[in-house]
Amino acid sequence: MPYEPDDYLSRHFQTSAIDINQKVDDLAELAVPPGSPNRQLYREMLMSVIRMAQADRNRWDAKIMLQTLTEMESAFSLLEKFKRRRKVSVFGSARTPVGHPLYHLARDLGSELSRLDLMVITGAGDGIMAAAHAGAGADNSLGFNISLPFEQGANPTVQASGNLLTFHFFFLRKLFFVKEADAVVLCPGGFGTLDEALEVLTLIQTGKSPLIPIVLLDHPEGNYWDSALDFLRQGLADNHYILHSDLHLMRLVHSGAEAAQEISRFYRNFHSSRWLQGLFVIRMNHPLNEGALLTLHKEFSDLSREGGFRQQPYCETETDEPELCHLIRLAFHFNGRDHGRLRELVDFINLPQNWAQNS
């Protein structure tokens, strides 16, 4: 929805000797490539900055705006060249020492992910982050560093890659950790790791972020995630603060190979999802057979508000991603609430026995 200026600023624009709107239109004409569908969006961005300049309320607010826009533009620029590669955000303690079982586990994870041609995103620091990047190698590593007065510096692997962004604000860094991730792997860690775990769970549970695999990784003798899951079951689910089905959003594994397999299995048939004109659309690599569709109608009817499930080809309204036009779609009126159950549906459509024979 376009921003509506308050009366004061609107009057200021109208009574000024300078036609602000025309100046912004002229600037957009000069800056935006001809035919760009984003022209109106850029115009609104410019108007937002102008409104802030007109109000001129607070220097700190202006610095936040400047830093935010600068960091976002820099991040978009770097990440553009990797936009068609699947990526996995890996979290864990920067204080995990070399030689610790978790360090070896994270290094194995990075190696397994690189074998699947998956890029590894970390906070670029030491410990789990350095181990995952070392396993993945420079060509498969992305680092989202954070400016801190202590502890945090880019590890050698991601420094060598050049694929490194440094953020001033945690909220921007967290935005890109989630925005760029096709999967998340969480190793044991401190406040930051738990913050990221709850952040991504909240975003997926509320539908603010697309469904992706969330993998909890610990060594076989560890109880870090076992204890956390016990708390989530007893403290949250049993008290009805979350749905019991929300726990299906996470999977606990005990090796890098298991974690990579869990991610690979998630994308065996599921490709991606989106909302389209009131329908929730799952893009699939293989169409489902008639028996699978009947099972969906029977076993997952709670997910559809009305009309059940239907398979459909590429829709002409999806012109923004023509490279995905060959994928079959599973469309339904999702209730928008039960994302843990949605994960169960994705597991179902990923079973090869549910695919059409000639797919």
Is the pLDDT reported for residue 15 higher than 50? no
Q: pLDDT, tens digit, for every residue of 318-353?
A: 766 777 888 999 999 999 999 999 999 999 999 999
Q: What is the pLDDT of residue 182?
A: 98
**Distance (Å, rounded) from C-alpha 102 to C-alpha 119?**
20
Q: What is the pLDDT of residue 57?
A: 86
Is the pLDDT reported for residue 35 higher than 70? yes
Pairing relationship of beta strands 279-284 and 250-253 according to DSSP bridges: unpaired
Average pLDDT over residues 353-359: 87
3-state helix, strand, coil in the chain (%, to 5): 50, 15, 30
Cβ contacts of 60 within 8 Å, gap of 6 or more: none
**Distance (Å, rounded) from C-alpha 163 to C-alpha 229?**
34
Cross-strand pairs, 166: 145
Is the pLDDT reported for residue 240 higher than 90? yes
Provide the sign of the torsion angle of the four alpha carbons 53, 55, 60, 61, taken in this order: negative
Average pLDDT over residues 86-98: 97
Asked whether 217 and 185 are in contact (CB, 8 A), the reply is yes
pLDDT band at 358 (very low <50, low <70, confident <90, very high): confident
1-5, 51-55, 247-251: range with highest mean pLDDT: 247-251
Average pLDDT over residues 182-190: 98
Asked whether 146 and 123 are in contact (CB, 8 A), the reply is yes
Q: What is the pLDDT of residue 357?
A: 86
**Distance (Å, rounded) from C-alpha 182 to C-alpha 158?**
20
Is the pLDDT reported for residue 16 higher than 60? no
Q: pLDDT, tens digit, for every residue of 204-223?
A: 999 999 999 999 999 999 99
Provide the sign of the torsion angle of the four alpha carbons 321, 324, 325, 331, taken in this order: negative
| Geometric angle at alpha carbon 192, from 184 and 204, rounded to 5° | 40
Q: pLDDT, tens digit, for every residue of 116-135?
A: 999 999 999 999 999 999 99
What rounded mean pLDDT belongs to the chain? 92
**Distance (Å, rounded) from C-alpha 38 to C-alpha 18?**
25
Asked whether 315 and 334 are in contact (CB, 8 A), the reply is no
Residue 123 has a CB neighbour count (10 Å cut-off) of 27
Asked whether 246 and 341 are in contact (CB, 8 A), the reply is no
**Distance (Å, rounded) from C-alpha 154 to C-alpha 138?**
13
Q: How far is CA 155 from the centre of its chain?
A: 23
Span of 182-191, 202-211, 282-291, 309-318 with lowest mean pLDDT: 309-318
Q: What is the pLDDT of residue 151?
A: 56
Asked whether 134 and 256 are in contact (CB, 8 A), the reply is no
Query: What percent of the chain is modeled with pLDDT above 90?
Result: 85
Asked whether 309 and 335 are in contact (CB, 8 A), the reply is no
The packing angle between helices 339-349 and 290-299, to 10°, is 160
